[in-house]
Structure 1
Amino acid sequence: MPDIKNGFHELQLAVKFIKLFARNSGMEGEAYSNWSHFLIHLQASWDKVEAGFADTSGTDIGNKFNYLRGLKIHQRKKDPLLKYLWESRNMVVHGVGFSFRRAMIDKLPAGYTYLSKINKQGIRYDRRQIPVFKTRLLLNTVINKERKFQPPTHHLGVPMENSLDPIEIAIKGISFYFNYIKDTDVEFTRSLSSQQLSAFWTNFNIAEVITDAGKLYHIVNFQPEKENTEYYVENTNNFPITFIHFQGTIM
């Protein structure tokens, strides 16, 4: 009997990591790690659906599944967004890595915070006002075997609102694989309940993911007078602040 539950579980893991990515994309290392895990589990959802039909080769069910799978393979090869996700995953798996670029959403400060130096006795001094900017991670060109894949501008024939936004591309990618799993289940297995399918989107909570991704503020390119200088941060506006290109020590 075909089984797609393992594929569905992998897609749930992909959702888990894109939610972590949205929540922690201000931290460069965590952002890369969570994005990489998202890509790996997204592809694993496809692979494990295929594995669930391994014993149906040559049967009527197997032939019908291969027809549906063939249609989806064609879409994956032709669609810019799905191809971009696939090539990004290949870069991660082969150890090439994956890089984003960070951009300020607005050149005007979103607010201000204060930094004070701390001497060896723990006394704060030289308090200064520092501008805080809103930033976001944007997708970069993927290069695999000397072939370049630009961030997609269309998905399934529909223009994307922001082709450089990793959250938008992740949501659309997850939706494609979810529909593939759902269609396969309806046609062949009937192993996923309507409650499970509904709970998938409730847990994903796209509105929350988008909100989390938009909460990040950064102190950009602040250079201390000396390396390893200790600073105390007064976050008077309660911004979720991280530091970009900062060489001091934060207390």
Structure 2
Amino acid sequence: MNTEEKPSLYHAKRELVAAQRAIERMSEAQSVEDLEDEWKVFLTAIEKCWIKVERSCQHVRNKFQPWQGRYASERRKDPLLKYLKHARNSDHHSIQENMDKKAASSSMYVEGGPGVTHIEHLEIKDGKVLEYRGNKPLVIENLPNRVELIPVKDGSKWYNPPKQHKGTKLAWPAPLDVAQLGLEYYKQFVEAAEEEFFERV
């Protein structure tokens, strides 16, 4: 098959397939090193997907660039998308680690902070909450032994692992969960670009 015969956004879709395969291998990883290797493959594939959509839309650049602006803005602002972009850059231009093992942990907190949160009464015995009264709910988190993404440095700035994506909170920044959410976003981006700029066959 030569280039002229390839369907629209063929090259971008190939990168989505590469990202999906990396996620499948991540789910079967037997060590943190194996998980990290596939995570890096995933990061590269989704960034290449973004670039290949841009290249494929050069013939409609005047329409494509303003349309792409919404997605570019989300990539700058959404914690998960921003982290993926800078984690990829960090991997390509530095020798940093990007994930770490974390032991099981328990924590409790009340959202809001000073001036917003008021705890009237909190009684704990043997690590259990006996009684709580306050103006906001008490959140108790019990996390298992796990692998978490860690902050990455891109250029002179640090980027923290995402705690949420498009308004949905993550239990913790698990590489597999973050990758799956990222892949879903880029699949939707490719589908939307195809619908907007190419006739579906």
TM-score (norm 1): 0.58
Asked if 2 retains the 8 angstrom alpha-carbon contact of 1:14 and 1:37, the reply is yes
Partners of 2:10 and 2:99 lie apart in 1 by 33
Within a 5 Å distance, the mapping from 1:158-197 to structure 2 comes to 158-191=167-200
Residue 52 (str. 1) matches residue 56 (str. 2): yes
CA distance in 1, matches of 2:188, 2:47: 14
**Distance (whole Å) between structure 1 residues aligned to residue 97 and residue 55 of structure 2:** 28
**Whole-angstrom distance in 2 between the partners of 1:73 and 1:88:** 16
Match of 1:78 in 2: 77
Query: For residue 38 of structure 1, what is the aligned residue in structure 2?
Result: 42
State the distance in 2 between where 1:95 and 1:18 align.
Answer: 23
The code of the aligned residue for 1:27 comes to S
Which structure is larger by alpha-carbon Rg, 1 or 2?
A: 1
TM-score by length of 2: 0.71
Instruction: Identify the residue that residue 31 of structure 2 maps to in structure 1.
Output: 27
In structure 2, C-alpha distance between the alignment counterparts of 1:27 and 1:17, rounded to whole Å: 15
Deviation at 1:106, TM superposition (A): 7.4
Q: What letter is aligned with 1:137? A: V
Offset at residue 150 of structure 1 (A):
1.0
2:21 maps to what in 1? 16
Match of residue 207 from structure 1: none
Shift of 1:91: 1.0
Q: Report if aligned partners of 2:57, 2:197 keep a CA contact under 8 Å in 1.
A: no
The equivalent residue for 1:143 is: 153
CA RMSD in angstroms, aligned pairs only: 2.2
| Paired-residue identity, % | 25
Q: 2: distance between equivalents of 1:136 and 1:22?
A: 13
Once superposed, which parts of structure 1, at least 4 consecutive aligned residues long, lie more than 3 Å away?
Answer: 104-107
CA distance in 2: counterparts of 1:171 and 1:182, whole angstroms = 17
- Given residue 172 of structure 1, which amino acid in structure 2 is its aligned partner? L
Query: Structure 1: which 5+ residue stretches go unaligned?
Result: 108-133, 194-251
SS at match of 1:3: coil
Q: Distance in 2 between matches of 1:167 and 1:68?
A: 30
CA displacement, residues 1-34 of structure 1 (integer Å, 9 cap, x when unaligned): 993111011011011001101210x313212211
Q: How many residues align?
A: 159
- Unpaired runs of 5+ residues, structure 2, are 107-143
Equivalent-residue separation in structure 2 for 1:14 and 1:189 (angstroms):
23
1: distance between equivalents of 2:92 and 2:176? 21
How many angstroms apart in 1 are the aligned matches of 2:35 and 2:165? 24
Conservation of the 8 A alpha-carbon contact between 1:88 and 1:98: no
Q: Which moved more, 1:29-38 or 1:142-151?
A: 142-151
